Structure 1
């Protein structure tokens, strides 16, 4: 009998009320390994009721107590990160080393949350008027919802819940139903770290659970990462129901390569950023804008490196694993035909790649397209798979024009040894994250992650200072402690004297 993964509510697994379940696959084998429960709106209601009750005590807990839980969680995660990596590989398909890297980047935000006693300090102005002081407090929102994607089932939840918990909120996490087990594993680890029951809850599900979170009157905010159409829906629905929303959407990230760049570094970076995690990264480089002077040489170098990649089961010694589902693999593969029909050259075709894995796995090898027209759907769409495209440009100006013409503004990179060009690029490109000779410019945890344009809905990025502000409300206090010489009644409008 196939195992069924329950929700995690009030500090323990919970079957909930819904009889609906979904399949969870091992992508490298192409087989169902378990079922996951799909919550009803009543299940979401139950989780919110528990979280609301827990908020009363947790929001009043000392900062020192919250900090200690985060420290404990950090230590436990360091000790047992190998367990979590194996879960990620078994349900997402990414290779173990990539899974370990994902956990490490999530751990950075946990460590940032350990520093929140400093960040949560308010400001004070003494004697703003006679015997009057003004100071500010940062206080939690209440119950917060977090809806996360399949591509980073550990890291992306850790972008949000450590900060939410450390600032005194309680959390309802709705992870992707495609690879849900990491969420329950982290919930159990938080309980072991001393987090009170009800502060962190996991509700598995599909659109019914998402809509219940977006519409629930007792959920104060929603954080989301996913495709742009869904991010727009999350933002519009959540804000219509009176919530704060941070919704990070899709991307089409470009790498502009100038003639003076180190082409060996560029080729390494393009392969790493294009095919890591099978291209299922919102920060993957999907388009290389190669200046005409170096394009032929760069294509040759990238092709040579691609030939050395080993594709297969992430639990073996491989460089790249499968895609998350058979349907997604087929959709990504269809763009290869689309590109060819639109006039692109298929330099490396990942279909039919030899793999070190079972035949029924959801395989698609690294693919390289050259001379891709910017009118092709293979260029305009977010493919979210191991397809790297070369678009040839005359120089810097045309490259920047192409980047800025697109609807997305998540991340962009430039490779050059010209400091002046790099400085212009960081100022002129319409993107929220910029890399200079860095292909995946994901900020460290004490800065904030997020894009521009259709890559971000709402005005709050993830983690860092934006994360702290998103999960807190500022309260200004104006105080006067009177002495015996106060002046008595005065019905006039208060003035600063």
Structure 2
């Protein structure tokens, strides 16, 4: 067994050289072996990082859009060239298969490409002669120091939803990645320096709740972007806003896929397997509840079961279809939901606990699991399991299926599978969910649209990336200007009027 590697902070463009009072282990979830020792930041160190960012920010905020764009293009080129290396780091610490990890980096790369258009995105408006000899124009300016707190399930893509736009808008960024799999985020952050970004504009501080609380309460942090479970998202939102910050906190999900009787069931079965078991179900956009409108449930379940039987679960670096869960504790928690589903009366069609796994004996594996005849009151339906567990709920009509989805407290993503254009159009209008797929099971928007759900899946008003991201990381200013000429004169104490 090799000696675990030290993983530390990135501050002012340099790896931290201090001594951490607290550390945390990092594992390879496919083998169970500890591969890293992560330095955890104290509140005092977070303060030092924020101070470094604050000192660097004015120079970057005053940097021309042309120069900022050059840095963004250089970063985009570097990330594209190193994407396979980043993907390997994700697989080694998160466990998802290499193809999935590479897809994650590529989707993050799209946001960097969107941010390369920042001169256009920050362009203001101008109204000449809004009043006699008075011009009015608008601009958007950076906030200062902003924090990004990212989850374990997308250690590269989620930070990339926010960081390129925040930097392009002229801010200084402090990233707090997940302590479970930090190396990919640190490697990406290091590329910014290589791209020519001034030191201090992009920093990484590793840690746990102490670091999060320090960022949420620090007076010099002006905005916080967070992605994670709903209880923590709500905590982040309430704590951050109480301390005067802008906060966008994306929470959990219980995503439904409604399959109508006229749907192509082979397409629907493929989609259910891909969206339910990709990344071992550790996606906020995973389909975990399949809503089958009778009489198709039996046939659809058989097709899904057949496809599940061909999946190979094991080490994500060795060509398997599905990798392990991120930690042993999380694997055990997901397995406990399987037991709960059985005890609550659901029909266990495929039991992932009984799979043969192609990985190390100590790996955190749980195979794809399928339940049928799941009820609304069962914990496997009510809770966000965040694992490879797909539940089938049977309904008698489209209206019953729509009501089921709309009554759920989450509203992140959903999908409808049908060949009826009218039904699809009705669904996309009526469903109370922020992201909708029509015959598309994972409707993650492209970078120039914005990502975010409704209800308990989002706290705050701003979604991630797209124009909402630009608005979140800037503040508007409107200037009303009059340049006096020699003919001006006179005093008028009345209220100004547009004449």
Normalised TM-score (structure 1): 0.99
- Is 1:186 matched up with 2:188? yes
Instruction: Give 1:17 shift.
Output: 5.6
2:91 to 89, 92, 95: 89
Distance 1:445 1:465 in 2: 9
- Is 1:449 matched up with 2:451? yes
Distance 2:354 2:342 in 1: 17
Unaligned runs of 5+ in 1: none
The CA deviation string for residues 400-435 of structure 1, in whole angstroms up to 9 with x for no partner, is 111011110001110001111111101111100000
Superposition pairs of residues 258-297 of structure 1, within 5 angstroms:
258-297=260-299
Asked if the contact 1:450/1:462 (under 8 Å) is kept, the reply is: yes
Asked if the contact 1:18/1:43 (under 8 Å) is kept, the reply is: no
Instruction: Give 1:491 shift.
Output: 2.7
Distance 2:359 2:284 in 1: 26
Distance 1:183 1:19 in 2: 22
Aligned to 2:66: 64
Aligned to 2:220: 218
Distance 1:93 1:313 in 2: 7
Aligned to 1:374: 376
The CA deviation string for residues 294-350 of structure 1, in whole angstroms up to 9 with x for no partner, is 000000000000001111101111110000000000000111111111111110000
Instruction: Give 1:124 shift.
Output: 1.3
Of 340-349 and 247-256, the range deviating more from structure 2: 340-349
Instruction: Give 1:456 shift.
Output: 0.2
Distance 2:396 2:144 in 1: 53
Aligned to 1:76: 78
- Is 1:362 matched up with 2:331? no
Distance 1:265 1:142 in 2: 47
Instruction: Give 1:157 shift.
Output: 0.1
Instruction: Give 1:18 shift.
Output: 3.5
Aligned to 2:15: 13
- Is 1:478 matched up with 2:480? yes
Superposition pairs of residues 201-216 of structure 1, within 5 angstroms:
201-216=203-218
Distance 1:318 1:488 in 2: 81
Distance 2:138 2:296 in 1: 56
Distance 1:373 1:341 in 2: 12
Asked if the contact 1:160/1:463 (under 8 Å) is kept, the reply is: yes
Aligned to 1:235: 237
Superposition pairs of residues 309-388 of structure 1, within 5 angstroms:
309-388=311-390
- Is 1:153 matched up with 2:155? yes
Distance 1:63 1:412 in 2: 38
Normalised TM-score (structure 2): 0.99
Asked if the contact 1:107/1:158 (under 8 Å) is kept, the reply is: yes
Aligned to 2:26: 24
Instruction: Give 1:369 shift.
Output: 0.4
Aligned to 1:415: 417
Asked if the contact 1:364/1:386 (under 8 Å) is kept, the reply is: yes
Give the 3-state SS of the residue equivalent to 1:276 in structure 2: helix
Distance 2:355 2:119 in 1: 51
- Is 1:132 matched up with 2:152? no
The CA deviation string for residues 336-377 of structure 1, in whole angstroms up to 9 with x for no partner, is 111111111110000031111111100000000000111001
Of 333-342 and 199-208, the range deviating more from structure 2: 333-342
Alignment root-mean-square deviation, CA: 0.8
Of 321-330 and 352-361, the range deviating more from structure 2: 352-361
The CA deviation string for residues 156-201 of structure 1, in whole angstroms up to 9 with x for no partner, is 0000000000000000000000001112101211111111100000
Distance 2:408 2:493 in 1: 59
Distance 1:103 1:186 in 2: 10
Instruction: Give 1:489 shift.
Output: 2.7
Unaligned runs of 5+ in 2: none
Asked if the contact 1:15/1:37 (under 8 Å) is kept, the reply is: no
Superposition pairs of residues 93-112 of structure 1, within 5 angstroms:
93-112=95-114
Asked if the contact 1:16/1:39 (under 8 Å) is kept, the reply is: no
Asked if the contact 1:16/1:43 (under 8 Å) is kept, the reply is: no
Distance 1:489 1:16 in 2: 64
Give the 3-state SS of the residue equivalent to 2:30 in structure 1: coil
Superposition pairs of residues 41-52 of structure 1, within 5 angstroms:
41-52=43-54
The CA deviation string for residues 207-241 of structure 1, in whole angstroms up to 9 with x for no partner, is 00000000000000000000000000000000000
Give the 3-state SS of the residue equivalent to 2:247 in structure 1: strand
Superposition pairs of residues 398-413 of structure 1, within 5 angstroms:
398-413=400-415
Instruction: Give 1:109 shift.
Output: 0.3
- Is 1:304 matched up with 2:312? no
Distance 2:431 2:144 in 1: 37
Give the number of equivalent residue pairs.
497
Distance 2:331 2:43 in 1: 31
Of 119-128 and 154-163, the range deviating more from structure 2: 119-128
